[in-house]
Structures are given as structure tokens and as C-alpha cells.
Amino acid sequence: MAAVHSVRHPRLAVRLALGHKYNAWYLIFAQPYRTADCREISRLDSPGPAIAWSPRPRFWFNQKAASGWERGGESLLDLLLSLDFRDPPLFAVVDHDSGANKVEVLLPENKLAHYCEGCGQWEVAGNNAVRWFMVRAHTLPGYLCPPCHAKDWIGARAIRYLKRIRYRLWGDR
């Protein structure tokens, strides 16, 4: 079973991962850190014109996304594209449209960090980490961690469905 792919920028001591929560893309800490109150560093996608279907996921990169690690004049996209050369790239810029960048995710789905639709936790990167269960197979599948998967019954499924609807209507509130 493949582990979550994590990367490290030469200027940083922490490892990072790419993941999606419903239809939103996030840069997250690959491991939970006690000093961080949340694993999510920055939401990477932004609303934009509809994107035609592609075999790999694509999204408009949010030009205002920031991590706090960028140097003067550098964007988060620049920072992520300059990751350690030993790591495979997370994504590639495939289109520039009126100042916006459309990026294509280069990592396969099994290398992304997954968000549990039951408890709201992110999957942990590591060779011995337990992988999560796919419960919805769409363009961007849904996942449950093992404890939530064990108690996934019709009531829990209905609650997950309502959470997805709420997220689509009102976002991450």
C-alpha cells in the first residue's frame, strides 16, 4: 500500500503534503505537530471559470494563498514549484489565464493526504501510517479513517452527505 507523499522545502524543517477536502485543495503538514493548532496551512484553490475534464485533477491556484514561508516577492506557487529536486513535483502549471494559474495535480490519488468525512481529521504521512477507506468514488473521492469506517452506518452516511452539501453551499465555515 502506498504511503502519503510528503515533501520538504530546503528552507523548512517540516514535511508538507497535498490533499483535498471535498472539492477544495490544501497544503497541509504531513504529520501533526504539537505547536500547530491545525494541519491545514493554506487552501490552494480559488473559484474560477469551469475547467474541462482532465484525467488528472486541475484547479485554479489561489494567487492570495500564503504559508508565511515565502520570501519577498515570492508567491506560494513559486515556493511549491521550487521544492527539493529529489521529490517528484506536486503539480504543474498548465494554463495562465488573465493572471490566474491553472495547475494540474501530478500525484496519483493514492499519494495524496485524505480528509476523513466522518471526524474531519487528515491522513498522516509515513511508511507505517494506516491508509484510509474510499467511500465515494467520484472525480475527487471521499474517505473515512478506520474508526469512522467501522461505525459507518446509514445515519453516519446521511450526516456525511449533509456535510458535503453544506460545504458546497457555504464553504469551509
C-alpha distances (whole Å) from 130 to each of 8, 14, 125, 167 are: 21, 20, 9, 26
Mean pLDDT score across all residues of the chain: 82
**What per-residue confidence (pLDDT) applies to 25?**
92
Instruction: Tell me the per-residue pLDDT of 18-35, one tens digit each, with 9 for 90 and over.
Output: 998 888 899 999 888 887
pLDDT band at 172 (very low <50, low <70, confident <90, very high): low
User: For residue 4, which amino acid is it?
Assistant: V
Of 57-61, 104-108, 141-145, least confident by mean pLDDT is 141-145
The enclosing H or E element of 155 equals: helix 154-170
**What per-residue confidence (pLDDT) applies to 1?**
47
Radius of gyration of the chain (CA): 16
Quote the pTM value: 0.79
CA 88 to chain centre: 16
